[in-house]
Chain A
Amino acid sequence: MEEHTGRDLISELPQGIIETILTKLPIGDAVRTSVLSTRWRNKWALLTHLVFNDRSAIQFHDITALQHIIVNFVTRFLFLHDGPIHKFSLCTSYLQSSPDIDQWLLFISRKDVKELILELGEGEWFRAPSSVFSCKNLTRLELVRCELDPPPNFKGFLFLKYLSLQQVLIPPDDVERLISSCPLLESLTLSYFDSLELTVRAPNLKYLILEGEFKDLCLANTPLLVAISVAMYMTDDIAEHFEQSSSCNFDKLLGGVPNLERLIGHIYFTKYLSIGNGRGRSRITYNQLKFIELYQVSFDDMKEVLVVLQLIMHSPNLKALQISGSSNTSGTMRSPDSEIWDEKFSIDCTFHKLKTVKLTDVSGVPHEMKFIKYLLERTPGLEEMSITPGLYVTDKRLNMLIDLVSFRRASPQASIVFIHEPV
């Protein structure tokens, strides 16, 4: 760009705008503006959003020297900083647990901090100091890889709206207590939780993301939820627990979420919902539910198919449905109870609003083909159904196609796309 010699273009901008610009710079560059001129000397020190990360970290072969530079930088920064700190984000793979970090957190806990984000390197896990729990005005808390142990007298984060805990070690009772003591909580993410029985009570919760080896999930008081994404992993221990379980997981998880708009279930989610689901009917109608994505649904297991049907039958405004089949489906099974499709589901049910259906990892087992037939017959507004056979499904592709062309379609404009990747 051309050399500029005229008026000073940015020094006279209001502090608010300068702060916005400085906040978008790597924090080291922001501090170095102090050398520009006398007017710039203290502008950086008034920043309220502090983001320390590895973006500007220099490449050092000596990791100890680099750690020293980072620790020195943050300590000096906080020492010379002036005024409130609304956001403190520290994401660095070079630091682990250290007394310095505890002191920084104690310092910022006295600065009216509203957003706190911590992600440290692997290695020795960081144990969040008690000062974290004295940040009374937090609206956002994100922690990655640490131990969290709320003190007994902790009364909750009364203003917290966003909570994300990834790979955080916290006693199960404490995580429930933490969640229910944040009355304004709108968004909750828990990932890499192991063998956890979790009951969520969060009356204002809208967004929920769960990932881990959950044993038992219950949404007890979450009437405002609009989006749920759950990934469940299964161990032998948990599978055994499931076998003995007698309660209805479908009702426990989805029995009280009438405002749901989007549902995403990964891995064992559909299997989990199918356990104890005797009635095959939902307690409620999901009038807002428009998007359903279910992964690794086993069409060998009629109970799982029932869960899928139950969901879509109770979602009169569903627009898009996406299902991936389970890759370990045997594919050789005879269809023992295929008449169930004619008997049990012959009731009058039409998916009026459904426009797109995307099916992947299709293995072509009888219940799967019946399911496709069922959808095509009852979806008058269907625009596109795409079908991608599983990678290892080879000899059955032709049979699938023969079946597909024979199915009656309720929608005259529907296009059926068969995605035939070369094997």
Chain B
Amino acid sequence: MAAETGTPTTLTLKSNDDELFSVAESAAILSVTIRNMVEDGCAGGVIPLDNVDGKTLASVITYMNGISAIPADEEKKKSYRDKFLSDKDFETLADMVLAANYLNMSCLMDAVSAKIAQVMEKKSVGWVRRKFGIENDYTPEEEAAVKEEHKWTFEGVETDDDN
């Protein structure tokens, strides 16, 4: 391990579509899943990450490198995260939240889920369905009944579907 040899160790990560990525161990261990493998000595060869595709993994590694280059300064880390997520579409956000969950990276998980929540906030039901591709499988009668059941949560609410 890096601590013993004094030289930076590089890990090789493999996505579920067989792309290989090199990443500094110090950045990769932001993932508790990877850190556990390193500590258990299973990181000698290639680390297979069966639940993450190459496109998402590339993005996550960009994040790992970016955030680990910032010294302990929560403000700066937060603004890096905001900037990192600012240009991601819904599909990427959804893939990324799954990857963060699988890799056990709480800071990325938190940031991505906050971003998704921010997108949904104050939006109408129809807007969220369209943007996230959610199929409305209620019959009109069922939908009316569910709305009636939750009438107390629609009182005085105005939605804001501008973008």
Residues of A within 8 A of B (CB): 1-11, 13-14, 16-17, 20-22, 24-26, 28-29, 31-41, 56, 58, 60, 69, 72-73, 76-77
Interchain CB contact under 8 A, A6 and B133: yes
The residue in chain B whose Cβ has the minimal distance to the Cβ of A40 is B134
- Chain B contacts for A56, CB-based, 8 A: 122, 157
Interchain CB contact under 8 A, B132 and A38: no
Q: A25-B117, A35-B146 are in contact. Are A13 and B134 (CB under 8 A)?
A: no
Interchain CB contact under 8 A, B90 and A4: yes
Q: Of A20, A60, A76, which one neighbours B156 at CB under 8 angstroms?
A: A60
Tell me the smallest distance from the CB of B50 to a CB of chain A, in Å. 16
Residues of B within 8 A of A (CB): 89-91, 93-94, 97-98, 101, 109-110, 113-114, 116-118, 120-123, 125, 128-138, 142-143, 146-147, 149-150, 152-158, 163
Instruction: Determine the distance from Cα of A16 to Cα of B118 in the docked complex, in whole angstroms.
Output: 18
- Chain B contacts for A10, CB-based, 8 A: 94, 116, 132, 134
The residue in chain B whose Cβ has the minimal distance to the Cβ of A2 is B89
Q: Of A2, A8, A17, A22, which one neighbours B97 at CB under 8 angstroms?
A: A17
The residue in chain A whose Cβ has the minimal distance to the Cβ of B131 is A4
* Interface SS majority for chain B: helix
Instruction: Determine the distance from Cα of A39 to Cα of B129 in the docked complex, in whole angstroms.
Output: 12
- Chain A contacts for B138, CB-based, 8 A: 35, 37-38
Q: A24-B113, A29-B122 are in contact. Are A69 and B156 (CB under 8 A)?
A: yes
- Chain A contacts for B163, CB-based, 8 A: 1
- Chain A contacts for B118, CB-based, 8 A: 24
Interchain CB contact under 8 A, B117 and A21: yes
Q: Which of B89, B94, B120, B121 has the most CB of A within 10 A?
A: B120
Instruction: Determine the distance from Cα of A35 to Cα of B146 in the docked complex, in whole angstroms.
Output: 6
Instruction: Determine the distance from Cα of A38 to Cα of B136 in the docked complex, in whole angstroms.
Output: 8
Interchain CB contact under 8 A, A37 and B121: no
- Chain A contacts for B89, CB-based, 8 A: 1-2
Instruction: Determine the distance from Cα of A379 to Cα of B150 in the docked complex, in whole angstroms.
Output: 68
Instruction: Determine the distance from Cα of A247 to Cα of B149 in the docked complex, in whole angstroms.
Output: 66
